[in-house]
Amino acid sequence: MKTGYGQRQLKPHLKLTLSRKSKNKTMNVIQAELKEVLIVEPDVFKDHRGFFMETYNRIRYDGIGIQRHFVQDNLSFSRQRTLRGLHYQAKHPQAKLVQVISGEIYDVAVDIRAQSPTFGKWVGVILNDRNNRQLFIPEGFAHGFCVLSETALFSYKCSDFYAPKDERGVLWADPDLGIAWPIADPIVSEKDNGYPKLCNVPTGDLPCIKDLI
pLDDT tens column, 66-122: 999 999 999 999 999 999 999 999 999 999 999 999 999 999 999 999 989 999 999
Instruction: Specify if 122 maps to a domain.
Output: yes
Instruction: Specify if 100 maps to a domain.
Output: yes
Instruction: Specify if 1 maps to a domain.
Output: no
Instruction: Specify if 2 maps to a domain.
Output: no
- What is the C-alpha separation between 60 and 29, in angstroms, rounded? 12
Catalytic site positions: 87, 156
Instruction: Specify if 30 maps to a domain.
Output: yes
| Cβ 79 vs Cβ 113: under 8 Å | no
Which H or E run contains 158?
Answer: strand 151-158
The total of other beta-carbon atoms located within 10 Å of residue 159's CB is: 18
Q: Give the dihedral of Cα atoms 1, 144, 193, 183; nearest 10 deg.
A: 120
Please tell me whether residue 82 adopts helix, strand or coil conformation. strand
| Cβ 170 vs Cβ 65: under 8 Å | no
pLDDT tens column, 49-72: 999 999 999 999 999 999 999 999
Does the structure show a pLDDT above 90 at 210?
Answer: no
Q: Model's pTM, two decimal places?
A: 0.86
Domain that residue 110 falls in: 7-212
Work out how many domains the chain is built from and give that number: 1
Q: Cis omega (within 30 of 0) on the bond before 38? A: no
Identify the CATH number of the domain in which residue 144 sits.
2.60.120.10
Instruction: Specify if 47 maps to a domain.
Output: yes
Does the structure show a pLDDT above 50 at 180?
Answer: yes
Instruction: Specify if 85 maps to a domain.
Output: yes
